[in-house]
Amino acid sequence: MKPLWRLNKYLYKYKGLLLLGILFTVISNIFVIIPAQLVRLAIDYVVESAVIFKPLDLGGLGDIASENFLKFVLVFGVLILVMALLRGFFLFLIRQTIIIMSRRIEYDMKNEIFKKYQNLSLSFYRKNSTGDLMARITEDVSRVRMYLGPAIMYGLNLLILFPLVISYMIMVNPELTLYSLLPLPVLSISIYFVNNLINERSEKIQRSLSNLSTFTQEAFSGIRVLKAFVRENDSVRDFSDASEEYKVKSIRLTRVNALFFPLIMALVGISTIITVYIGGLQVINGDIGYGVIAEFILYVNMLTWPVTSLGWVTSIVQRAAASQTRINEFLDEENNIISTEDAKDEIHGTIEMKDLSFVYPDSGVKALDQVSFSIQSGQTLGIIGTTGSGKSTIANLLMRMYDPAKGQILIDGKPIESFDISHLRKNIGYVPQDVFLFSDTIGNNIAFGLDHTEKDIIEQAAKDADVYKNIVDFPKGFETMLGERGITLSGGQKQRVSIARAIAKEPKILILDDCLSAVDTKTENVILNALKKIMKNRTSVIISHRVSSAKLADQIIVLDDGKIIERGNHQSLMEQKGVYAELYEKQTQAGESVDSDL
Ligand SMILES: Nc1ncnc2c1ncn2[C@@H]1O[C@H](COP(=O)(O)OP(=O)(O)OP(=O)(O)O)[C@@H](O)[C@H]1O
């Protein structure tokens, strides 16, 4: 229960709806109890009238008596009908308050969790799977809503109706009350167990359903590989196996579900039989009238659903508490990437890395070892290295996706931690290695980092990234949709749109992380020359495993296994005749042979 206390702030926020809900529950229950008493009065009246009808009929007053009798019965009938209508109206109002409150809280919770997710660091996303993140914001929130809506609604109903009905019953006949309520605790406990069984089996079904959808999703997104390797039949067989598991589990759930209503009905039936039996004995003894039996049968039926719901509500609350524990775990997660001073000084782009070593906290891999370099604003740094040598890690640290354990990064002479994080990231244009474009128009993708979409800036960025001509050749130009429902760009086009997105925001520092790998060397040169122009007075970091991307840089560092093994400019590195020169020879020779092949 304790994890659910966190929800009290929401209950307080929507206290108006909650209080109205309580009030409507009280009123609706009054309209449940009065008809039962009316039924008792009506039946007793009918029985007594039947007794005195014969003498009156013999005395010639039969017609008047039967007219009066029908009039009374009609009044009782109308009264019971009005009560039922009023009860229905208040039940409607209860749902309009409490269920609406739960929906509003669900909306607030989803927003709170999503906001928290957005503010958490990259390492949080590496630790937790996307499926888990999705499950907590959808399924877990839904379970908590079941507590805030139906569980509170039925719980309140139980709390109000129970004492009300039982005190009336005791007032009318304490002995009969005891006997008729005897089976109800058994009912509640059985429902609790059956319900737990249902939940357990539903969860298994949910899991096998999610396996099924992950499988299906992968089969669709990997359809090209699947077809190329002719694995369609295997895929169909695997799908049928996964479906089989789902079918078996669903059938098992149906079996338990089928038990649910017969169980309730059986126990209610037993209650009714006991009421009629004990009540009958009391009528024979002349202790009570027939009406009391009818009244008690109605009371027992009235209590059936609340008692049933007790088991159901308990299991909802338990599930909600478990879900809320999972939600709280993420809500309590701290973002350790914080700014020390929230400085928003204008960034010029001088970067200095001092003796920096970095170990990835989640994998323990030492990605950088005592790396030092400095770049003046307006200069270009080229970073060359084999795969896994730590190139992208430098980009991650400059973006403050992670903080180094040892060493320091200075931007314009100030520690990078002192800058406000959003301010820092707004000043950096980052083109990641794995291009990610949103399912939106090309124009909106390029304008992603801008607060206002400006056509001129978007077009200029597309020209500088050498992708303008490709875009205007599409029938819808910059309005062309990308993604699942749109067109598919080629690898090189995607990279260039991603470059345009980074330069559109006119960053002070531009980081290109191996993002020219899918373009030919001619396009690479066009882009690099354009960048030289626009990055004047700003800083560029060009990460690549292709020497051609880095050779124009003012300064080049060569990384191997997290260490800088060579540094200089193209000229001096060629003269050193080390790894860089060797790489250059190999790559240009390969380039020449490819060119001559063509
Ligand atoms: N987020 C991460 N969590 C844990 N380890 C990581 C992470 N990212 C990279 N690594 C590890 O750190 C090392 C350096 O990786 P990095 O991505 O910096 O290399 P890279 O030089 O950019 O390689 P490539 O050219 O293949 O992109 C690698 O051994 C990699 O496995």
Token pair recorded at residue 324: 């809320």
Whole-number pLDDT of residue 594: 39
Look up residue 542 and give its amino acid: I
Q: Does domain 432-506 have CATH number 3.40.50.300?
A: yes
Whole-number pLDDT of residue 458: 93
pTM, to two decimals: 0.79
Q: Are 353 and 520 spatial neighbours (Cβ–Cβ below 8 Å)?
A: no
Compute, in angstroms, the gap from residue 392 CA to the centroid of ligand 1. 6
Complex prediction ipTM: 0.95
Compute, in angstroms, the gap from residue 384 CA to the centroid of ligand 1. 14
Query: Ligand 1 in contact with 365 (CB < 6 A)?
Result: yes
Query: Ligand 1 in contact with 391 (CB < 6 A)?
Result: yes
Which are the contacts of 383, defined by CB distance < 8 A and separation ≥ 6? Answer: 391, 394, 541, 542, 543, 544, 550, 556, 557, 559
User: Identical fold at 2-331 and 432-506?
Assistant: no
CATH class of the domain defined by 345-427+508-569: alpha beta
Compute, in angstroms, the gap from residue 168 CA to the centroid of ligand 1. 74
Whole-number pLDDT of residue 597: 34
Query: Ligand 1 in contact with 563 (CB < 6 A)?
Result: no
Query: Ligand 1 in contact with 35 (CB < 6 A)?
Result: no
Phi and psi at 386, nearest 5°, equal -75, 175
Beta-carbon-side half-sphere exposure of residue 4 (alpha carbons within 13 Å): 19
Give the Cβ contact number of residue 80 at 10 Å. Answer: 16
Domain locations along the chain: 2-331, 345-427+508-569, 432-506
Choosing from 126, 337, 383, 389 the residue with most ligand 1 atoms within 8 A of its CB, the one to mutate for a pocket test is 389
Ligand 1 atom nearest to CA at 385: 21
* CA dist., res. 551 & res. 573, Å (int): 10
Q: Are 355 and 564 spatial neighbours (Cβ–Cβ below 8 Å)?
A: no
Token pair recorded at residue 237: 């067989």
Q: Identify the three-state secondary structure at position 431.
A: strand
Q: Identify the three-state secondary structure at position 258.
A: helix
Query: Ligand 1 in contact with 474 (CB < 6 A)?
Result: no
Query: Ligand 1 in contact with 392 (CB < 6 A)?
Result: yes
Choosing from 122, 356, 365, 398 the residue with most ligand 1 atoms within 8 A of its CB, the one to mutate for a pocket test is 365
β-pairing verdict for 406-411 and 555-560: unpaired
Ligand 1 atom nearest to CA at 393: 18
Query: Ligand 1 in contact with 362 (CB < 6 A)?
Result: yes
Q: Are 276 and 288 spatial neighbours (Cβ–Cβ below 8 Å)?
A: no
Query: Ligand 1 in contact with 364 (CB < 6 A)?
Result: no
Whole-number pLDDT of residue 484: 65
DSSP string covering 80-115: HHHHHHHHHHHHHHHIIIIIHHHHHHHHHHHHHHHH
Token pair recorded at residue 515: 């993002």
495: Cα separation from own chain's centroid: 30
Closest-CA residue, ligand 1 atom 24, reads 387
Token pair recorded at residue 559: 């990384």
- Which residues does the chain have with pLDDT short of 70? 484-486, 590-598
Looking at domain 2-331, its CATH superfamily turns out to be ABC transporter type 1, transmembrane domain (1.20.1560.10)
Beta-carbon-side half-sphere exposure of residue 431 (alpha carbons within 13 Å): 29
Whole-number pLDDT of residue 423: 92
Closest-CA residue, ligand 1 atom 27, reads 387
